[in-house]
Amino acid sequence: MKSAPKIAIDARMVSRSGIGTCIQHWLRNVGYSIALGDPKDLDAYKDSVPVQIPFISGIYGYKEQLRFPYGKLRKQKPDVLHVPHCNVPLFYSGKMMVTVHDLTHLVYPEFLPMKLAHLYFKFIFWFICKRANRILVDSENTKQDLLRFYKADAKKMTVVPLGYGKEFVRKPKEEIEYLYGKYNIPRDKKIILYVGNLLPHKNLNGLLEGFARMQGREGCRLVLVGKAFDGRTQDTREKDLGIEELTIHAGMVSQEDLVNFYNLADLFVLPSLYEGFGLPVLEAFACGTPVACSNTSSLPEVGGNVAKYFDPKDAESIAHTLENSIDDKGKYDQKILDWVSKFTWESSAQQIREIATELAAK
């Protein structure tokens, strides 16, 4: 019987949202032998990953290349290095698999702060296509984006869907009602939930415009959850649209409150122009909440025939879909359960482990 491969992972982003969520679950489920990152962040995973190599550096730039612990990692003799984001070590010579979550920076270069950033990402994705022994992508859409921007080898790419945390479950009403008082939410209104940030591709303004045109919006409250809404007064845009009294800024919430918000909501909405996967869609589904989301990028893959879709660049399309979805809660419970059961972190980790085993054997 062959021994398991010795897999290392660059886990520097483990404490962040998004990619950090992926790394957290992979650390617990893949069976890595070595993790690179801040010892304080990795301490919680010492039972899952026996060897931890200190690597404290920001991402994107020359400093992380200079500080990468090439020597210390070489001494551990890993069979494969897993880089869970596009910030690959340029001078690493061993076998390497790289997860590419999305190509937002190439699809929407106008959202980058400077032209130099666009050039950096053009180069780094090119390098990944040339150098990585295997490229893991969250969705078929990201795979097609890589093929579109580069003459990449499709045989080197594998779609590895993400999962959702076991904390995202349906809860009885009495466990979640405290949110009404805690966040000053009227009990007699329907709740439309948005979870995210203010990055341009998240298209919050598009959602606000669509909500402002929604028939029956007076009977609803749009609840905005995320760090971007902490201590933030009602946006000028909300006032201009006449929805400032219908919008609630919940700000950054605890993981428990987030799960409960998903349960409390009548509808979850994700208006992004582009997503590499769209984890919140699964999280909402797992809590039994219907989803209305954009018909772009990877979202139809994640929402399947369970979510309802709109054109994120068309406020009327958003409004119409919100109107036709706000009363859907409880109507498609079994359909939602059947669909979301296809996405687990265990299956994601198993795919990564199998790919690493295959690479190690070559």
Number of CB atoms found within 10 A of residue 181's CB: 9
Instruction: Give domain status of residue 125, yes or no.
Output: yes
**Residue 32 binned pLDDT confidence (cut-offs 50, 70, 90):** very high
Question: What's the total number of domains in the chain?
Answer: 2
Give yes or no: residues 124 and 204 share one domain.
Answer: no
Residue 236 domain boundaries: 173-340
CATH of the domain at 63: 3.40.50.2000
Summarize pLDDT for 243-254 with one digit per residue, the tens. Answer: 999 999 999 999
pLDDT digits (tens, 9 = 90+) for 254-267: 999 999 999 999 99
Which tokens sit at 39?
């010892």
- Report whether 296 contacts 326 (CB < 8 A): no
One domain for residues 159 and 291: no
In a domain? residue 331: yes
Q: 320-357 as b/e, with b when 16 or more CB fall inside 10 Å?
A: bbbbebbebbeeeeeebeebbeebbbeebbebbbebbe
Is residue 196 domain-shared with residue 155, that is, in the same domain?
Answer: no
Asked if 286 and 166 count as a contact pair (C-beta separation under 8 A), the reply is no
Query: What is the per-residue pLDDT for 235?
Result: 63
Q: Domain check: are 182 and 118 in the same one?
A: no
Q: What is the per-residue pLDDT across 136-172, written as a single tens digit (0 to 9) for each?
A: 999 999 999 999 999 889 999 999 999 999 999 999 9
In a domain, 328, yes or no: yes
Whether this prediction's pTM lies above 0.85 is answered by yes
- Per the DSSP assignment, residues forming a β-bridge with 97 are 82, 134
Helix (H) or strand (E) holding 136: strand 134-137
**Is 149 part of any domain?**
yes
* Residue range 307-349, pLDDT digits in tens: 999 999 999 999 999 999 999 999 999 999 999 999 999 999 9
Residue 268 placed within a domain: yes
**Predicted local distance difference test score (pLDDT) of residue 354:** 96
- What is the structure's pLDDT at 2? 59
Q: Does residue 143 sit in the same domain as residue 224?
A: no
Can you give the pLDDT at residue 118? 87
241 plus 309 within the same structural domain: yes
